[in-house]
Amino acid sequence: MTTQRRVFKATPLSSGISLATAMVMRPGTVSVVEQSIPPSRVNSEIRALEKAVAETIEELRALLDSAGRRVGGPASRIFDAQLMIAGDVEFLNQVKQKIQQDKRNAGYVYNALVQQSIEALKNSPNQYLRQMASDVDAVATKVLSHLTGRHQVIQKKFATDTALVCRSFTPGDVLTLRNRKVSGLVAEEGGRNSHAALIARSLLVPMVVLPNATRLLHSG
């Protein structure tokens, strides 16, 4: 029996060659359900939000430290920007006020306001602001992961050189995965100017974009 070889044409984001075993990852999204809460639960929801934000800031500081040692320059400043987003006092105060006013759970309120911000940034005529939308999304995913206990970070350490296939990668994903025998990245979306691509180029990790990659490619 012969094995049929298929060739896919992808868009390069970071140059290089990766001869590796494919691993297709389909991480679920962090979903939050709207819940009406009694007044007695408002303070505990706010404390849970503050704890999730603090844990996110701690995680981002660790990434910033790693980026400073391994990447440096403009690439490491990506995590400075994400730290500022995570600790945005004005935005967090808006979330807390809405929790108090609407009597809704912290995850739902935080996500609703974040999605409004992301949509506004994506529709901005300013390229820098449009790029910021992906950073806001990456930070929000971390906060919601800590808040709900459903972490989306890929923790697995691969036994052999691996080309990881996923819908998208955050800058933190690229930085973390480089130490886990991941020698190439295939994303379904993203651009050459994305922050994930910038980190990949800084770390000399080959990265391409292939639409529908998680359906076209198979692990192994």
Output the DSSP codes for 126-142. Answer: -HHHHHHHHHHHHHHHH
Q: What is the pLDDT of residue 2?
A: 54
Torsion angle, alpha carbons of 38, 47, 114, 79, to 10: -170
pLDDT at 41 over 90: yes
Identify the CA nearest to 106 among candidates 138, 160, 144, 57: 144
pLDDT at 70 over 90: no
Q: Provide mean pLDDT across the span 159-175.
A: 86
Q: What is the pLDDT of residue 156?
A: 61
Q: Which pLDDT band holds residue 1 (cuts at 50, 70, 90)?
A: very low
Looking at 3.40.50.300, 3.30.70.260, 3.30.1330.20, 3.50.30.10, the CATH number of the domain 11-27+154-216 comes to 3.50.30.10
- Per-domain boundaries in the chain: 11-27+154-216, 39-148
Give kind and range of the element (H or E) at residue 54: helix 42-70
pLDDT tens track for 113-142:
999 999 999 999 998 888 889 899 999 999
Q: What is the pLDDT of residue 152?
A: 56
State the CATH architecture for 39-148.
Orthogonal Bundle (1.10)
pTM for the model stands at 0.82
Q: Which pLDDT band holds residue 60 (cuts at 50, 70, 90)?
A: very high
